[in-house]
Amino acid sequence: MTNERNETGDGVLTTGVALQQWREAERTVAVARRGRLAAEAAASAAIEAQEAASATADAARAALESMTLAESSAAKTAAAAKLFVMAANADLADAVSDEAISDVAEVAAHGEYRAATSRAMDK
């Protein structure tokens, strides 16, 4: 701001000088106000960024927990599937064994039938 006084040297500001100083003060206030508003906006954005980062961390933690549960569930499912395969293989082995025994019994029964028919014809 300028400190110009009137030409008489009595220390009283002229109207023109006083108006000029007032306008300079208004510009200074306007700049300061814009600076304050910008700082408030930056502070608000920083708070929102911190909240977003915190929410992201919470989501990541939840995702990790979910992934851990999914891995555990998949391991249990794989173990159950392995037991099912083992049981199915055992059932297949039993079925193959039953078929083989039935084949042997059928061949034996067919042999006895031939023997019986042969004896019947011999009489």
Tens digits of per-residue pLDDT, 76-106?
Answer: 999 999 999 999 999 999 999 999 999 999 9
SS (H, E, C) the chain: CCCCCCCCCCCCCCHHHHHHHHHHHHHHHHHHHHHHHHHHHHHHHHHHHHHHHHHHHHHHHHHHHHHHHHHHHHHHHHHHHHHHHHHHHHHHHHHHHHHHHHHHHHHHHHHHHHHHHHHHHHC
Q: Is the pTM of this model over 0.85?
A: no
Tens digits of per-residue pLDDT, 50-70?
Answer: 999 999 999 999 999 999 999
